[in-house]
Chain A
């Protein structure tokens, strides 16, 4: 059990007339970035809230690195290991950025001189150093989100729980956020992240879990998911005649279908591996086809998610 940063057994949460989280057995290995996807109302936020002790489970057990997590005064050490960033992030508008982080650093028992050192570190990481004397009320949404992330990691947690961390951010702010997450992953943190921006998850995650109706219907590594469910696509452009190219492609058994997407450009559904891909290119070149583009791509996470059809709320 100790090998798992997070392990839940029969985790269930009921609200009034429905079951938000239903008998979930989740296992996340230490050092992983685990993406949680699913439609709104599938139970992602409730699951993350229970993992962060912000919600009491109706039934079931949670273990972090083998230690039982309970929602009371008894878990000082476990709480020290968790960093939780909810989708709404209330802040104290009357405090400055520095004072806010200093307050939370104290709440997480960081002593001087390490406290000041750590605040400088996280401010540098979230690129808010020049704002450290500004009042929180004057920050933009993206800055507030980065400040919240700084608060979440101020105590160097080994498990990060991020609930929709990039919602409402512009593309630049999202990119900054992704960079920070990558740095944190390199630092060895286990990260569980829920998001609707699946391209971000595809870039960041090592594993994903798909939730539907309160159930965890899929939980696997990203590589495995792509292997099982993603089809490869090749995009080709030629200066010659399309008919010759199509004739050549039809001779390859690994090419299933193709679709002409422009005058001299087509997209192929290809079932082979990397070496098969190279072999196809060689055969086309040997057939004197004037190729100007040979681009290999994979079906993205969003398409896989839509293909799976897990879109029911609990």
Chain B
């Protein structure tokens, strides 16, 4: 039963050429496509389809009952005082009239959501578990030493590791396609949906591989944590879609772009079923979401195109980072140059979703309120992005010390060039440049779009970016500690700087309105800048810069010590002893 399925029926077939071109794919398929596995996958796919169909058939009227029956797939509306009811009627031949189009549509939606969850949650779990296992066992190092490119190995993993999930989904596809066509969804839209789901897989799988290549020292939990979190977020995002009444004129609606199930809105719309029969996000809802004030998601083609583009561009970034990380796991996650490009790409997109307008708002004032509210979310998002940059750009102790010791011999570049472009130098200057790029892009819109009374938002942004810089300096300083747990120490330090102040202030009942000055130093200073004078803001900024300068000087001193040659260190010790 555990026999391998014959992979090469004909040696020159396209299939064998594909496997020849990617040895990693060959290895994964060889390890997983066994008869027993295939039988199990086929059985699971059949059971899932059977249960879904039986469940939906159970919603149909009982043939034995002659009395009036009401249900979802009826075609007759009975008007009542409080709510109308959809009931089944019998035609002249005595058969129940059933809304089969809706029945097929429901089947299509259920299969789509099952498919998305299976692909994304189980797929990411398998990928992370496999890669972490290979990394722990040391076999991945052998693959690194072969002449295969990082791209080829990683692509082989993405295509091969979840091969059993792909097989199960392939077995679901015929019913999925029939259900789609029976519910009058155009074939092109079904294919566009499938393609977008594939694009989402590409993105989440790249993210999963990147996650599995990061070294935290807790590899056992990596796969459970990541797939669990993804499953929870997907569930949450799908619940919002199914709820059908979500308010999308909000900065956070951007996150829905990462759930491929959002495309079902267009597919349901194309089936031309009566409004109100389906509890799913409608295209009218989707029209509320705007980018730089433009409702881009109203038209099906543009909407699907943008969601596809969103996945593709994020996949591109993840892929670039992955390729860098694969061959040299000791390097920083991002190169400094790449980080500038990433920020220059991220800031305009985040700003686009900040500048939302709601067509049915009564006054301009409401619009302004919505936008200013969104700026708070933008600030939080920017701060989280900044924290991500700290994590991705800060080199660790050994790299920093090597840089300090051999900088002159290895490169001979000027110090500033090294700090701005060199990958092994401290990250603080690069993070400052990244934050400056974001601020430069966001600031004009604050002054051009919002009335002068909303300028506190600008100061909130400035304070939050200097906050991030302070976190960056502290994290970088702690990463030079001698202890082995320096990564955990720096995470704990930054996390406590974010979490502790609001908790303490909350416990002491010092709210933003009673004593806003201290809230200026919290993770969300934008909420407090509205209530304080300019002088208080200036003092807070000066205080932050003072702290940044002191820690930077301390760090420079430490690096200078580390950069001294062995002879110099020895001479210093001799001098100290002789004194």
Contacts and interface: CB of A to CB of B under 8 A. Distances in A.
B243 interface: no
Contacts of B147: 75-77, 79-80, 107-109
Contacts of A88: 138
A15 B398 contact: yes
A46 B149 CA distance: 24
A72 interface: yes
A151 B397 CA distance: 36
Interface string B406-421: 1001100000000000
B72 interface: no
Contacts of A52: 145
A56 B323 contact: no
B328 A72 contact: yes
A72 B324 CA distance: 8
A106 B30 contact: no
Interface stretch (A91-99, A137-145, A169-177, A195-203): A91-99
Chain B contact residues, majority secondary structure: helix
B284 interface: no
- Between B146, B328, B330, B398, the greatest number of chain A beta carbons within 10 A of the residue's beta carbon is seen for B146
Contact of B145 (A82, A109, A111): A82
A14 interface: yes
B31 interface: yes
Nearest to A112: B11
Interface in B535-579: 566
B145 A79 contact: yes
B359 interface: no
B406 A103 contact: no
Given A103-B26, A106-B20, A54 B141 contact: yes
Contacts of A112: 11, 20
Nearest to A79: B147
Size category of the B interface is 20 to 34
A54 B147 CA distance: 13
A223 interface: no
A58 interface: yes
Given A14-B398, A15-B398, A103 B145 contact: no
Contacts of A231: none
B327 A72 contact: yes
Interface in A78-92: 79-80, 82, 84, 88, 90-92
Given A16-B398, A58-B402, A73 B149 contact: yes
A59 B330 contact: no
Contacts of A151: 142
Contacts of B566: 19
A94 B31 contact: yes
A73 B323 contact: yes
A90 B143 contact: no
A221 B226 CA distance: 55
A107 B23 contact: yes
Contacts of B143: 107
A53 to B, nearest CB: 6
Interface in B311-329: 323, 327-328
Nearest to A13: B402
B272 interface: no
B36 interface: no
Nearest to B397: A16
B327 A90 contact: no
B27 interface: yes
Contacts of A16: 397-398
A258 interface: no
Interface string A175-217: 0000000000000000000000000000000000000000000
B64 interface: no
Given A59-B409, A103-B23, A14 B138 contact: no
Nearest to B327: A72
A103 B30 contact: yes
A104 interface: yes
B93 to A, nearest CB: 61
Contacts of B406: 12, 58-59
Contact of A56 (B330, B401, B410): B330
B402 A14 contact: yes
Interface string A110-140: 0110000000000000000000000000000
Interface string A19-35: 10000000000000000
Contacts of A241: none
Contacts of B409: 59
B562 to A, nearest CB: 10
Nearest to B139: A90
B137 interface: yes
Contacts of A76: 147, 149
A15 B24 CA distance: 32
A71 interface: yes
Given A16-B398, A58-B402, A104 B137 contact: no
Given A59-B409, A92-B139, A95-B31, A104 B146 contact: yes
A90 B405 CA distance: 35
Interface string B119-150: 00000000000000000011101111111111
Interface string B170-197: 0000000000000000000000000000
B319 to A, nearest CB: 13
11 contacts: A14-B398, A52-B145, A56-B330, A71-B328, A73-B150, A79-B146, A82-B145, A84-B145, A90-B142, A103-B27, A107-B23
Complex A-B, nearest 3 residue pairs according to Cβ-Cβ distance, in ascending order: A106-B23, A90-B138, A76-B147
Given A73-B149, A104-B142, A112-B11, 6 more contacts: A58-B406, A59-B409, A76-B149, A90-B139, A106-B27, A107-B143
